[in-house]
Structure 1
Amino acid sequence: MPTFSLSITFTFLTIFTLPCVADSVGVNWGTMASHPLPPPKVVELLKSNKINKVKLFDANPYVLQALSGSNIGVTVGIPNNSLRNLNSSIKAANSWVHDNVTRYVSSGGSNARIEYVAVGDEPFLKSYGEQFQPFTIGAAMNIQAALKKAHLDKKVKVVVPCSFDNFESGSNLSSEVHFRPDLNKTMIELLTFLNKHGSPFFVTISPFLTLQTKNMSLDFSLFKETARSHNFSHKTYKNSFDLSYDTVVAVLSKAGFPDIDIVVAKIGWPTDGAANATSNLAEIFMKGLMTHLHSNLGTPLKPRHPPLETYIFSLFDEDERSIDSGKFERHWGLFTFDGQAKYHVDLGQGSVSLVNAQNVEYLSSRWCVVNNNKDMFNASANALEACSNADCTALSPGGSCFNISWPTNISYAFNSYYQEHNQSAESCDFEGLGLITTVDPSNDRCRFRIEINTSHAKFYRVYYFHWMISLITTLLASLVG
């Protein structure tokens, strides 16, 4: 066969054997927000942006109901605090699968397309110690058995999302990285379980966090062609993502699982709350990541073998996320809390412009600001009190509101508290220092938010009630199991 013909054949086979990037990129949909968008509106947003996969951190019935019939691939999550019960009782696992999987995949034409059950969320984090580690594998095994009993084990895979801090290195060479000594036995058990059932390895990769803790340049984290290359394990790396991904590959290979599929469970770039956490840098990072995934080049250790799937972290900003790791933790969203795109990026669906959420219902156009005509003696103390009960992370060094002057920063704190508490008149008191205004105090960089009106979400409360009943049923089953 002529060389030209061989080339055409190779190209043809390559095109049709590589995964479609649009089908392999999804988003994490977290709900740790004081005033979340109603799930039906979120599903509209996902469909408008042709986002075909979503990873959840729980199995909220209202969310799953909204996703039913959408044909969006779903990963449902089991919170870490449920692992002990699911580990100790197969009856509890059967109840959980019945209530949170079977119910939604067996409802005819309006079923939810559940693809994975994520057992825990990074349960082996170093900061957790052994709080969840002893129960995770047993819980996964019981969920697997429950899926098999429900005849869903071929359709729904069990996974355990892992943190990058599960790996440890005594040097800078990626080939010398290994599992943390306290985790080695558990990780081998996990990989054996995943391999047996054909499940992928879910892992978080965070170039932003690596930038904070390692000797890596910003350009290296952002896929910049001008970045200085790093040579590790006899390979040359041009970006932080490839280096992190191959760290995972190297450890899995060393453990005896070189061919297990890898899913990047979380990856993203925050836009506020810290230095280098900006919408501009997030856009550069996301465009670099998408271009890299589109190329199907893979990594030095896995050429032409990109991740099986990649889930962007996150869909929205969440004002109730823990900020123990940094104020930026509440600002990972592709979209603001109310579903407005922060920047433009092609997620693989052929559109460079993200579509905003439509017809969002807000509270009234009112803000709480400091009354300059009052004695300002206790203004700072009141602002600190407000921020202890509301989200003021944008005021942090490097944040979008860090440079606003006094007393505008006091007003920002007052308004955050006021909106958090649904604009109740008493929430803008602050010992007489608060003043309700209809004049928007925002500027080009610093947005004084108006919260989403969630008072209409009566159906959410109904489904939440049913979710609580399901949780109680699972707990009771574990006690008698």
Structure 2
Amino acid sequence: MEAVSRFPSSILMLFQLLVLFLNCCHSNAGGSLIGVCYGRNGNNLPPPQKVVRLLKSQSLSKVRLFDSDQTVLQAFANTPFEVVIGVTNPEIPSLALSQEAALSWVTRNVGAVIRNTNIVAIAVGSEVITCSKAAPLLLVPAMKNLYAALLKLGLDKKVKVSTPHSMSVLEKSYPPSEGAFENVFIASIMQPLLEFLAQTESIFMINVYPFYAYKNEINNISLDYALFETNKGIIDNNTGLLYRNLFDAQVDAVFSALAAMGYKNLKVVVSETGWPSMGDATEAEIVNMNNAARYNGNLVQHVLGSSGTPLRPGAQIDTYIFELFNENQSPGPSSQRNWGLFKPDGTKAYDISFEVKTESYSEGGNTGGSIIPLENQTYCVAIPSSSFTALQEALNWACGPGHVDCTAIQPGQPCYLPDTVSSHASYAFNGYYQSNNLDPSACAFSGMATITSTDPSYGNCAYQGSDLSTGGAANSRHHSGKRLVLAFLILLLACLH
């Protein structure tokens, strides 16, 4: 009888282990999430209750609102969505000049609804520093008053206070390693703003639009590079890092600018990004349904299926797509009214998935879409800021006693350029890591290396473990995962017999 009583529990345990394993296999290893911006500047949009049902039908968990409309907040009550609410630019002066006004705003728009609506952040204004004439100097005071109100209500740990920026706050964004904020903003606004974000453990919000960068530099930027499509990439000669898409390059420029100000540990959230699907006749070359589908589709796969950026491997970078619907009352050229992912009736404007795909992504037919790996293969790369001398010594060891085949980084070979110690060390470190079965301890190198899921291969230089190489490490991991599932099933059948 005792053996019989243990029998069901053993089966239950195997089922639990199997479910846990399968969940791990399908989880987002990078930890980054996709959200959507829900704007309502249109006269043909569905009511908020229908919008919530639409979002529930998709694999989305985060939504950003541009205001604090009570009807919308009530629609998101008792749902799993993380909600970012907005302070409009015109509201900033009163909140900056009156603590009472800030307390009233927070009490009404956060305190009264947060028990049922999962508000996680307040976005104060939109691109205030670069787009508003009156509000920039009032921005930080408004943020401080709002935070003080949250503190008074005991909500300061749950709700962050931040503000979305345009990429125009950067004086320089290329190469990414030289990203820097505009000097005119640093002392008066950016320094106190970053200090506030750091002190309150908040986030840095940035609106990243490869669309505008490409549109303004169409002769210098490849469309495939802007759309996450297959391309030879661009190397940052200062770091030796390879960039295969413009999105990562822009985000890393922000990371560099923050580091230059002494705030490298601030978490970055992409508060807006997207690509319009329709525009004026003069915009037809780059503004069309195909490009919008390719950009947003590849963006989702990139954010959910990767881990950080070349400069910040492993960083969680939650990203909000602009936007849920076309807003037919938005001013400006036609493209400004056609950023939507969905039509007002709830059907998709174009085919797009909000889940990681297990096969190649190619939107709009034979477009040469980016390949999304079946598994999150990892690599070991050098940390560029490491000591030059120490990196050289580690490189020598890897290519000597470490028994790594370093032929590819010799002069004339495919991985010789860029001829930097950091680049060569990355190749050698990864070779040692791969030959030691992806053991994390094989990527230590005295703290001069880090593990990343971003394939560092470039051009004709294929790193060991890449789909481009003959190593096939990713494929072997994929099959080993299948073998482990099979082992669980065999054990289960053994218990049943």
- The equivalent residue for 2:311 is 301
Alpha-carbon contact 2:328-2:337 (below 8 Å) kept: yes
Conservation of the 8 A alpha-carbon contact between 2:228 and 2:244: yes
Which residue identity lines up with residue 340 of structure 1 in the other structure?
A: T
Give the alignment partner of residue 287 of structure 1, picking from 277, 285, 297.
Answer: 297
Q: Could you tell me which of 166, 176, 179 is aligned with 1:177?
A: 179
2:354 match: 347
| Aligned equivalent of 2:335 | 328
Write the distance in 1 (CA, Å) between the matches of 2:356 and 2:27. 17
- One-letter identity of the residue aligned with 2:121: Y
Task: Tell me the TM-score normalized by structure 2.
Answer: 0.63
Q: After the TM superposition, which residues 68-467 of structure 1 pair with which residues of structure 2 at under 5 Å, given as runs? A: 68-106=77-115, 111-125=116-130, 127-128=131-132, 130-169=133-172, 172-185=174-187, 186-214=189-217, 215-234=220-239, 235-273=241-279, 274-275=283-284, 276-307=286-317, 309-323=318-332, 326-348=333-355
Distance 1:79 1:322 in 2: 17
Q: Which amino acid aligns with 1:336?
A: K
CA RMSD, aligned part only? 2.4
Q: How many residues align?
A: 330
Structure 2 contact 276–292 (Cα < 8 Å) conserved: yes
* Residue aligned with 1:182, SS: helix
1:28 matches 2:34 = no
Question: Do 1:296 and 1:306's aligned partners in 2 also have CA atoms closer than 8 Å?
Answer: no
What's the CA shift for 1:283? 1.5
232 and 74 in structure 1: CA distance in 2 versus 1, 3 angstrom threshold: farther
Q: Whole-Å Cα distance in 1 between the matches of residues 118 and 277 of structure 2?
A: 31
Name the amino acid aligned to 2:118: R
Structure scoring higher RCO (CA < 8 A, sep ≥ 6) equals 1
Q: 1:5-56, CA deviations, whole angstroms, 9 ceiling, x for partnerless residues?
A: xxxxxxx9999894544xx211000011123211111111111113211000
Q: Is the Cα–Cα contact under 8 Å of residues 30 and 315 in structure 1 kept in the other structure?
A: yes
* CA spacing shift, 1:295–1:19, aligned 2, 3 Å: closer
Partners of 1:217 and 1:227 within 8 A in 2: no
Measured at CA, do residues 226 and 166 of structure 1 come closer, stay the same or move farther in structure 2, by a change above 3 Å? same
Distance 1:315 1:56 in 2: 11
Amino acid aligned to 2:41: M
Which amino acid is the alignment partner of residue 262 of structure 2? G
State the alpha-carbon separation in 1 of the partners of residues 27 and 348 from structure 2.
33
Query: 2:39 touches 2:324 (CA, 8 Å); kept in 1?
Result: yes
- Using the TM superposition, give the Cα deviation of residue 285 of structure 1 relative to its aligned residue in structure 2, in angstroms: 1.2
SS at match of 2:121: strand
> For residues 243 and 349 of structure 1, do their structure 2 counterparts lie closer, same or farther at Cα, with a shift above 3 Å needed?
closer
Moved more, 46-55 or 340-349: 340-349
Q: Distance in 2 between matches of 1:351 and 1:31?
A: 34
Q: For 2:25 and 2:262, locate their aligned partners in 1 and report how far apart those are by CA, in whole Å.
A: 28
- Deviation track 1:371-425 (CA, whole Å, cap 9, x = no partner) reads xxxxxxxxxxxxxxxxxxxxxxxxxxxxxxxxxxxxxxxxxxxxxxxxxxxxxxx
How far apart are the structure 1 equivalents of 2:193 and 2:276? 30
**Structure 2 Cα separation of the partners of residues 223 and 212 of structure 1:** 16
Matched, 1:38 2:73: no
Conserved 8 A contact 2:301-2:356: no
Provide the C-alpha distance between the structure 2 equivalents of 1:60 and 1:205, rounded to a whole number of angstroms: 26
In structure 1, what is the Cα distance between the partners aligned to 2:157 and 2:233? 45
Instruction: Give yes or no for the alignment of 1:63 onto 2:41.
Output: no
1:320-372 CA-to-partner distances (Å, cap 9, x unmatched) read 1121xx4311111111244320122221377999xxxxxxxxxxxxxxxxxxx
CA gap 1:187/1:13 in 2 versus in 1, 3 angstroms: farther
- Secondary structure of 2:236 counterpart: strand
Unaligned runs of 5+ in 1: 1-11, 354-481
Amino acid at match of 2:259: S
Percentage of identical aligned residues:
34
Matched-pair contact (CA < 8 Å) for 1:174–1:233: no
Report if the CA contact (8 A) 1:25-1:348 is conserved: no
Structure 1 pair 216/350, CA: closer, same or farther in 2 (3 Å)? closer
C-alpha spacing 1:40/1:164, structure 2 compared with 1 (3 Å): same
CA displacement 1:62-99 (0-9 Å, x = unmatched): 10111111121100100000100000000000100011
Instruction: Evaluate the alpha carbon distance shift between residue 202 and residue 134 of structure 1 in structure 2; reply closer, same or farther with a 3 A threshold.
Output: same
Task: Note the C-alpha offset of 1:122.
Answer: 1.2
Deviates more, 1:266-275 or 1:230-239: 230-239
Q: Provide, for residues 116-137 of structure 1, a one-character-per-residue CA deviation record: whole Å limited to 9, x for no partner.
A: 0111111112x43x42101110
Conserved 8 A contact 2:30-2:308 = no
On the 8 A contact 2:174/2:253 being kept in 1, the answer is: no
Deviations 1:162-190 (A, max 9, x none): 11111112x84333332112211211111
Unpaired stretches in structure 2, ≥5 consecutive residues: 1-22, 362-497
**What secondary structure, in the 3-state scheme, does the structure 2 residue paired with 1:233 have?**
coil
Aligned 8 A contact 1:50 1:349 in 2: no
Q: 1:227 to 1:284 in 2, by over 3 A?
A: farther
Deviations 1:210-239 (A, max 9, x none): 111122111110111135535353322111
Deviations 1:402-459 (A, max 9, x none): xxxxxxxxxxxxxxxxxxxxxxxxxxxxxxxxxxxxxxxxxxxxxxxxxxxxxxxxxx
TM-score, normalised with respect to structure 1: 0.65
Partner of 1:460: none
Q: In the alignment, residue 335 of structure 1 is paired with which amino acid? A: F
